Amino acid sequence: MSEKPPRIADIMRVSSHREVYEPCDDSFALVDALLADQTNLINHNPNLCMEIGCGSGYVITSLILLLKPKLPNVHYLATDTNPIAARVTNQTLEAHGVKAEIVCTDIASCLEERPAGLVDVMVVSPPYVPTPEYEVGMEGIASAWAGGENGRSVIDRMLPVVDRLLSEKGWFYLVTLSSNYPAEICLMMRKRGFAWRILVQRSTEEENLVILKFWRDGDEVSLEKETSTASLVSEFSRSLSSFMEKQWR
């Protein structure tokens, strides 16, 4: 009897190294968000999908496995600053019989303008833990989580790059913590013309995770409306409460 292909990466086949971030609650919540959005992703029919900060390769491998049965010709690209993560991601991809181009770089800097305006799906679980600023980008495993003030150093640098890389129909899935002030991130993206939605909310003993999805807002009327910080924060709180209510019903 032939074995059924896995829907997402098999954690037992995900390669590991002590200097590489091991899949954790944030990685699982991001893959759950992709699973919840699988049908939409397939209908979205992406040509190029990308991950920034691929770590062990758990997320990019899961994304490939989710799309591959219906969309076998999608291209995948992933980056990480950690050269060992790049190697480990390649091993994870190979263990699942799938392929992606892995580039060792800061965010997407050494790709230059190559994928600009071409990325249809971007997924990111950034280093989001609030830490002293000097820990950001340090060598070794600390760079996997060290996010500087409010955990936002890398996230804030990433947002304009993501805007530049995403295609007109591009979707962006981002892991945030409540201590990253996700409403502020939504406001920053709003100012760049993006709409947003909460896809997954998860509270663990250690952290409150919110997985956000962004897309370019085609609604001229809502784009012309000036969004104040206060109104976006209350819109975000309402959205989060109604999301949590639905979850517990």
Ligand X SMILES: C[S@@+](CC[C@H](N)C(=O)[O-])C[C@H]1O[C@@H](n2cnc3c(N)ncnc32)[C@H](O)[C@@H]1O
Binding region for ligand X (CB under 6 A): 21, 23, 26-27, 30, 52-56, 58-59, 79-82, 85, 106-107, 125-127, 143-145, 154
Which residue, 56 or 131, has its beta carbon nearer to ligand X? 56
Residue 74 CB, shortest distance to ligand X, in Å, is 18
Residue 112 CB, shortest distance to ligand X, in Å, is 15
Residue 125 CB, shortest distance to ligand X, in Å, is 4
Dist CA 106 CA 79 (whole Å): 8
For 101, list phi and psi in degrees, rounded to 5.
-90, 125
Residue 113 CB, shortest distance to ligand X, in Å, is 17
Which residue, 95 or 223, has its beta carbon nearer to ligand X? 95
Dist CA 80 CA 125 (whole Å): 11
Q: Taking the alpha carbons of 79, 81, 83, 87 in that order, is the dihedral positive or negative?
A: negative
**Pair 29, 59: CB distance under 8 Å:** no
114-137 core/surface letters (b: 16 or more CB in 10 A; e: else): ebeebbbbbbbbbbbbbbeeebbe
Which residue, 42 or 161, has its beta carbon nearer to ligand X? 161
Which residue, 142 or 195, has its beta carbon nearer to ligand X? 142
